A = this chain, B = another copy of it.
């Protein structure tokens, strides 16, 4: 779902987009509808023909910038399948969260506190420039923050490569309209944003809507 929303938004801006999957034919034959769109992937693809579909390795090879919009457990397997050679030197915008729904709702985190999924990805693929961001908001807010309070709320970036973080921050502004982006520091600070998920899911319950976000209110 997150991948579809980001792919549509970027394609609408004229970017060339390929969505990676394990097996394109199987993906197009799935009759499961995405909750947000109420469409199967094939139906969605007919409405978004400008988004190409390919296997993970093709999408990674093509991409100048790569979004990791898998679920947490799928992140490392998808990137393994993409192949290290197709990832080296590129920016990975890592949106995934280490959510474990196996014990029901609310989910727990399968990595936290002394490590994070962002760090695990960075360690496994040292040539990739991992920038953790967008993982603290609902998918529709990711691509359209101005639908809520005119965009007066905050996003975070974490990553080891300063230039990659600066570029991603600019992309967030230019592509989606994010106005307040705080650089938390190196990729270990992804622990902080991934550990926001436990309060995020409880706020979703308390507020009865996923359309909310944190604003970091500070002086000056």
Interface residues of A (CB under 8 A from B): 108-109, 112-114, 148-149, 152-153, 156, 182-185, 189, 191-193, 195-196, 198-203, 205-207, 209, 211-219
Tell whether A184 pairs with B203 under 8 Å between CB atoms, given A148-B219, A212-B216, A217-B148.
yes
The answer on a CB contact under 8 Å between B206 and A183 is: yes
Chain B residue with the shortest CB-CB distance to A205:
B185
The answer on a CB contact under 8 Å between A192 and B202 is: yes
Chain B residue with the shortest CB-CB distance to A207:
B218
Instruction: Please tell me how many copies of the chain the complex holds.
Output: 2
The answer on a CB contact under 8 Å between A184 and B206 is: yes
Q: How far, in whole Å, are A101 and B189 apart by their CA atoms in the complex?
A: 16
A183 to B: closest C-beta gap in Å: 7
Tell whether A215 pairs with B217 under 8 Å between CB atoms, given A113-B109, A113-B112, A196-B196.
yes
Tell whether A218 pairs with B211 under 8 Å between CB atoms, given A199-B192, A202-B192.
yes
The answer on a CB contact under 8 Å between A193 and B199 is: yes
The answer on a CB contact under 8 Å between A192 and B182 is: no
Q: How far, in whole Å, are A153 and B214 apart by their CA atoms in the complex?
A: 10
Q: List 9 A-B contacts (CB under 8 A).
A: A112-B195, A149-B217, A189-B202, A191-B198, A203-B216, A207-B216, A213-B216, A214-B214, A214-B215
A124 to B: closest C-beta gap in Å: 22
Q: How far, in whole Å, are A193 and B214 apart by their CA atoms in the complex?
A: 13
Chain B residue with the shortest CB-CB distance to A183:
B206
A188 to B: closest C-beta gap in Å: 9
The answer on a CB contact under 8 Å between B192 and A198 is: yes
